[in-house]
Structure 1
Amino acid sequence: MINLAIAGKPNCGKSTFFAAATMAPAEIANYPFTTIDANNGVAYVRVECACKSLGIENCPACQDGVRFIPIGLIDVAGLVEGAHTGRGLGNKFLDNLREADAIIHILDASGSTDAEGNPVEKGSHNPKQDIGFIESEMKMWVYGLIEKNWNKIQRSSQQKNYSIEDAVADQLAGLQITVNHVEEAVRITGINLKTCNEEELINFCGVLVQHAKPFIVIGNKADFAPAELLEELKKEDIKFTCAAGELALKKAAESGLINYIAGDGDFTINAPEKLTAP
């Protein structure tokens, strides 16, 4: 089972997204650093079951022709700029990413939280400013790990049948970074790890992170976002979501009030008499 980390600045809706995806309990509140310790749960990717094309009826492996593939989710503490230096809960956050195969970066598409995760007036913070900062923090974190152990890496690479790429990969093995990741980053950057300067090594670390820990960016609170912010974000490679809405639908389905399968475009009400007007 692959593991995905849910990351982002504080108070952007990470824990709501986690709860909606997993239905596992997570503390949700409108203030920074609500999440201190990582939450772990299992979510499911919705795919069409092969029973439809095979003409199999009453398939035991799906629900109404829909199959759900399990993936692990890790809801980690919020990240602020400078986390790689230990600012905020930085080191704790970055440690939580060790087991992740890829990272879901949650943005507050509504612009209702500032760069530190503090609540502000809707639309007053441009979420485009938050794109890329997690990758940057991870790049500098990986660079720090390599730079701190550079002499050891250089000495190790002098062994017979043991390259500097092997040495770097071994140093970063705890992050699930392999020699294949290192060699691919070397190929893309054209770097010579034995003779590179600081700038070249930092750039190499950025490429390495992109390949070892791929990112997808999610614009959360899209239902609450001003139209002009959504239009700006649509120009970026961003997917949109409303985690709070999905969580409400799942809870209503769980209680039997509605018929809804995660990912459906609509739902039906089972017991309208039990519903009250807002």
Structure 2
Amino acid sequence: MSSSFVIACVGKPSAGKSSFLNAVTDATAKVGNFPFTTIEPNQGIAYYPVDCPCKKYNKSDRCKPRHGWCKDGKRFVPIKLLDVAGLVPGASEGKGLGNQFLDDLRHADVLIHVVDASGTTDSNGKETKGYDPIDDIQWLRSEVHSWIFNNLHKKWAGTVRRHLAVKATAVETLHAQLAGYGTSKDIVQRTMDKLKIKEGLGQWDDKQLENFVSGFLDERFPTIVALNKIDMPDADKGIASILRRYGNSGARGQPIKDGVRGDNIVLTSALGECFLRKMGQQKYIKYETGDDDFITKEDDPEDEYKLKSLDEKAKRRLENIRDLVLFRYGSSGVQDVIIRAVEVLGIVPVFPVKNLSNFGASADGASAAFQDCVLVRPGMTVREFAGKLHNQLIQNYLGAETVGNIQLGEDDVIVAGKNNIIKYDTSGLPAE
């Protein structure tokens, strides 16, 4: 049982995408099993932290997730991360790995764009000095826009003729044309509504089609920017340059620029996080992803964590990370990127149980508590979630309850903290 969401990690070559992927997918010994039947070579597992109800209901000692882990009431839920082939300007025309990159995006629900803030790589990912990354966000957006616009435009006349002949709605026709991009009718409808498009498709000119594609991209591929290499020399210049352009985008009264909201730009040091994790795994420091500091043997006079002594080279590097990243920005930023990528979709964590007294996975409540956590899209109803769990739940559905034996309507929308702990009542299904 798992979420079906996919985060795609994109960026030009040498922007730090590989380091970022290593930083967010290396869960080492914490978990050995994943809820996904197949993990392709270019896929990995990231972990999204949510508040686990085990702490609220004093079940922490019995909380044993089937997938991921729970620590001090914080649940780490696995989610797919897709490593997309490196992008260069002209990809929509087949340059670089062009089509491979763009085809990979079809499977993504949200994009993480890793941008090199240090100015040490040019637009093609080649080593340089003094490069201003201000246009890196814009040209990635431009490539994806061109990919979709060109595909629609070259068959637009035929699309309009068929649309008029069969008397389909504009949403139905556009959905049929965009189905290959992993979209839904809801996304197309939201795009039309937000753009307040009234004209029939037969009246659209190229500008109207371009505007529609831009709006569609905002809905279909929300983007989080991981502004990376923040601890490198001259990174401040790149950070300032990008924040000047995008810092207020999406704020009240301000338009979204190039598909990016200012609050979806996160400062990161992927290499710094990788080194902190490595030192933590080797017992040189005590550190957890998202922490604003680490503990060394010198910081632990009572030897609580049984840490090993550091050599001078490692000490210097750790102090640099502490000064330039952790103390300055509060964390390495990589976990914040995953959090923003999931939350921008409005995802709701749901905890299905078979016993509301002990929150167990069996009817008698004797088993571990809160074994499952499923991430679902906003607006999902109680009955729709039953179908997501198992088709037999729909066939044998009698009703549902939440904490306090409160009955839930089958059309009730699931809301975090309100009714996202659910027990289903069924007929004809044996109790476990």
Whether 1:232 and 2:238 are equivalent positions in the alignment is: no
Whether 1:268 and 2:295 are equivalent positions in the alignment is: yes
Equivalent residue, structure 1, for 2:108: 100
Which has the higher Rg, Structure 1 or Structure 2?
Answer: 2
Check whether the contact 1:5–1:76 (CA below 8 A) recurs between aligned residues: yes
Give the whole-Å Cα distance in 2 for the aligned partners of 1:74 and 1:225. Answer: 30
Any idea what SS the aligned residue of 1:201 has?
A: helix
Equivalent residue, structure 2, for 1:33: none
Check whether the contact 1:164–1:194 (CA below 8 A) recurs between aligned residues: no
**Displacement of 1:38:** 7.2
Structure 1 unpaired stretches of 5+: 26-36
Instruction: Provide closer, same or farther for how the CA distance between residues 60 and 259 of structure 1 changes in structure 2, counting only shifts above 3 A.
Output: farther
Equivalent residue, structure 2, for 1:88: 96
| Larger relative contact order (CA 8 Å, sep ≥ 6) | 1
Q: Name the amino acid aligned to 1:56.
A: K
Equivalent residue, structure 2, for 1:31: none
TM-score if structure 2 supplies the norm length?
Answer: 0.57
Equivalent residue, structure 1, for 2:182: 176
Check whether the contact 1:169–1:182 (CA below 8 A) recurs between aligned residues: yes
Equivalent residue, structure 2, for 1:154: 160
Task: Name whichever of 188-197 and 200-209 sits farther off.
Answer: 188-197
Check whether the contact 1:80–1:116 (CA below 8 A) recurs between aligned residues: yes
Give the whole-Å Cα distance in 2 for the aligned partners of 1:19 and 1:109. Answer: 19
Any idea what SS the aligned residue of 1:222 has?
A: coil
**Displacement of 1:132:** 2.3
Check whether the contact 1:113–1:125 (CA below 8 A) recurs between aligned residues: yes
Whether 1:127 and 2:139 are equivalent positions in the alignment is: no
**Displacement of 1:113:** 0.7
Check whether the contact 1:219–1:239 (CA below 8 A) recurs between aligned residues: yes
**Displacement of 1:48:** 3.2
Whether 1:67 and 2:75 are equivalent positions in the alignment is: yes
What does the per-residue CA deviation read over 1:194-234, in whole Å, with 9 as the maximum and x for residues that have no partner? 22111221121111111111111110111115233333334
Alignment of 1:199-218 (within 5 A): 199-218=207-226
What does the per-residue CA deviation read over 1:74-122, in whole Å, with 9 as the maximum and x for residues that have no partner? 111121122111111111110110100011111101111111111112x
Give the whole-Å Cα distance in 2 for the aligned partners of 1:4 and 1:264. Answer: 23
Q: Name the amino acid aligned to 1:277.
A: E
Equivalent residue, structure 2, for 1:142: 148
Give the whole-Å Cα distance in 1 for the aligned partners of 2:27 and 2:19. Answer: 10
Task: Name whichever of 236-245 and 93-102 sits farther off.
Answer: 236-245
User: Percent of aligned pairs with the same residue?
Assistant: 36
Q: Identify the match of residue 19 of structure 1 among 22, 28, 32.
A: 22
Q: Name the amino acid aligned to 2:117.
A: A
Check whether the contact 1:109–1:225 (CA below 8 A) recurs between aligned residues: no
Equivalent residue, structure 2, for 1:167: 173
**Displacement of 1:261:** 2.4
Instruction: Provide closer, same or farther for how the CA distance between residues 57 and 187 of structure 1 changes in structure 2, counting only shifts above 3 A.
Output: closer
Instruction: Provide closer, same or farther for how the CA distance between residues 12 and 4 of structure 1 changes in structure 2, counting only shifts above 3 A.
Output: same
Equivalent residue, structure 1, for 2:418: none
Give the whole-Å Cα distance in 1 for the aligned partners of 2:12 and 2:148. Answer: 19
Give the whole-Å Cα distance in 1 for the aligned partners of 2:22 and 2:220. Answer: 26
What does the per-residue CA deviation read over 1:225-263, in whole Å, with 9 as the maximum and x for residues that have no partner? 523333333442221011111112223333343332222
Give the whole-Å Cα distance in 2 for the aligned partners of 1:10 and 1:200. Answer: 33
Check whether the contact 1:46–1:263 (CA below 8 A) recurs between aligned residues: no
Equivalent residue, structure 1, for 2:277: 250
Structure 2 unpaired stretches of 5+: 29-39, 248-261, 297-304, 314-432
Instruction: Provide closer, same or farther for how the CA distance between residues 54 and 89 of structure 1 changes in structure 2, counting only shifts above 3 A.
Output: same
Check whether the contact 1:154–1:164 (CA below 8 A) recurs between aligned residues: no
Equivalent residue, structure 2, for 1:34: none
Any idea what SS the aligned residue of 2:203 has?
A: coil
Equivalent residue, structure 2, for 1:55: 58
Structural RMSD (CA):
2.4
TM-score if structure 1 supplies the norm length?
Answer: 0.86
Check whether the contact 1:77–1:93 (CA below 8 A) recurs between aligned residues: yes
Task: Name whichever of 164-173 and 70-79 sits farther off.
Answer: 164-173
Give the whole-Å Cα distance in 2 for the aligned partners of 1:215 and 1:157. Answer: 31
